[in-house]
Amino acid sequence: MKLTARQLARMMDLSAVRAEVDITEVRRLAAAARQYHCVCAFVLPGYFPELKALLADAPEVGAGAVVGFPSGGHSTAIKVAEAKEQLLAGASELDMVINVGRLRSGQDRCVVEDIQAVVQAAGSVPVKVILEAHHLSDEEIVRGSQLAVQAGAAYVKTGTGWAPTGATLHNVRLIHSAVGGAAKVKAAGGVRDLKTIVEMIRLGVSRFGVGLATGTRILDECALVADGIEV
């Protein structure tokens, strides 16, 4: 299979979800997502209305919303309220952070119920569950992935991008094996170059979450290969 820049863009969520992001960066994010025809763009909840407006005439680019970001430690009621608010504003996808502490505590029922509540609120809108794998053991990554699938997640995602790591090849292998095709895999938090993306596609990743500057650099690099990159 040959991967073109356009095909890669349709696997890439461009994001600007750091605490210090200002409105100028949100505008640049929307412009880049439109230019490259990315599948989705993500901002923090406070900027979601602006993002949605900036993408109003670019129907091929989704406006993504984050829930329980970045710690996952919000109450379930707050996560559901946050999800509903952004869904009402037009969110096309939700990326929610798992309750990392509950998962590490072995409180699986709490973890499942937390995710299920957001999935139910989302209806037909896909929910990606973020594990924040940097803070988890291999066993916890596997168990968290399986719980996310049990709760109805459309994707299991490696990280928020706020932790030091997340999207390692090892973590991707663990998640892909754990979900067994019952959910898709999104890599985020440490995806820095085209080589890594190609390796992760080969391991079963179908979506990538990448910051604005890194994402545009990778897409530009991919575009230089006229006949596409072998994956």
Q: What is the pLDDT of residue 15?
A: 98
Q: What is the pLDDT of residue 227?
A: 82
- CATH architecture for the domain at 2-230: Alpha-Beta Barrel (3.20)
Which residues on neighbouring strands pair with residue 95, listed in sequence order?
A: 66, 128
Q: Is 13 a catalytic residue?
A: no
Summary count for the chain: helices (H), strands (E): 10, 10
Q: Is 22 a catalytic residue?
A: no
Q: What is the pLDDT of residue 201?
A: 98
- 178 phi and psi angles, rounded to 5 deg: -70, -35
Which residues 6+ apart lie within 8 Å of 214 measured at CB?
191, 192
pTM of the model: 0.97
Q: What is the pLDDT of residue 58?
A: 97
Q: What is the pLDDT along the chain (231 residues), one digit of tens a residue?
A: 789 999 999 999 999 999 999 999 999 999 999 999 999 999 999 999 999 999 999 999 999 999 999 999 999 999 999 999 999 999 999 999 999 999 999 999 999 999 999 999 999 999 999 999 999 999 999 999 999 999 999 999 999 999 999 999 999 999 999 999 999 999 999 999 999 999 999 999 999 999 999 999 999 999 998 788 989
3-class secondary structure per residue, 54-108:
HCCCCCCCEEEEEECCCCCCCCHHHHHHHHHHHHHCCCCEEEEECCHHHHHCCCH
- 81 phi and psi angles, rounded to 5 deg: -65, -40
Q: What is the pLDDT of residue 92?
A: 98
Q: Which of 95, 114, 128, 184 is catalytic?
A: 95
Q: Which two tokens stand for residue 127?
A: 């929910």
Q: Is 186 a catalytic residue?
A: yes
> Which H helix or E strand runs over 179?
helix 169-179
Residue type, 183: A
Cα angle 24, 30, 36 (rounded to 5 degrees) comes to: 130
